[in-house]
Amino acid sequence: MAAPSGGGGGREGSAKTVVADQISQTVQSTSNLLHLMLQSSPSHAQLMKLPRNLLAMTSTIKNTELVLEQMPRVVSSLDTHVERGLQCLPHLDTVVQLLSNMQSSQLNSLTGAEITQQETEHLEQNSGA
């Protein structure tokens, strides 16, 4: 279940570079398209808002980039924890069985002590009479 280590860093870095390049190209294409639309469209007021709206989204885009960069480490860490948890299941069954046995033993000893106490009280009553 754990991700294989070694050799993945290069591929991960190149994938990040490709994604960053594609995002840059998309933003540049969008900007070019907006300029063309501004030059040819009668509704300049509406189109003037678009670059500001796009700039307002920059922090969200950056945050998304940070989350995507951290995602492989998070998934790998989660995978490791799940794997360890699965390895602990047999031990957990043993602990549950031990606790069950301890509970039974305590109940049996309490029941036995109550019976002994009742017998002692009964004998004391009979000998005192």
Distance CA 51, CA 16 (A): 26
Per-residue pLDDT tens over the stretch 66-106: 888 898 999 999 999 999 888 888 888 888 898 898 888 88
Cβ neighbors of 83 (< 8 A, separation 6 or more) are 1, 2
- Residue 93 tokens read as 């069954």
Spatial separation of the C-alpha atoms in residues 60 and 71, rounded to whole Å = 16
Q: Is the pLDDT assigned to residue 10 strictly greater than 60?
A: yes
Cβ within 8 Å of residue 61, ≥6 positions away: 23
pLDDT tens figures, 23-69: 888 888 888 887 777 777 666 666 667 777 777 787 888 888 888 88
pLDDT in the model for residue 113: 66
pLDDT of amino acid 109: 76
Q: How much is the pTM?
A: 0.35
Look at residue 95 and give its three-state secondary structure.
helix
pLDDT value of residue 76: 92
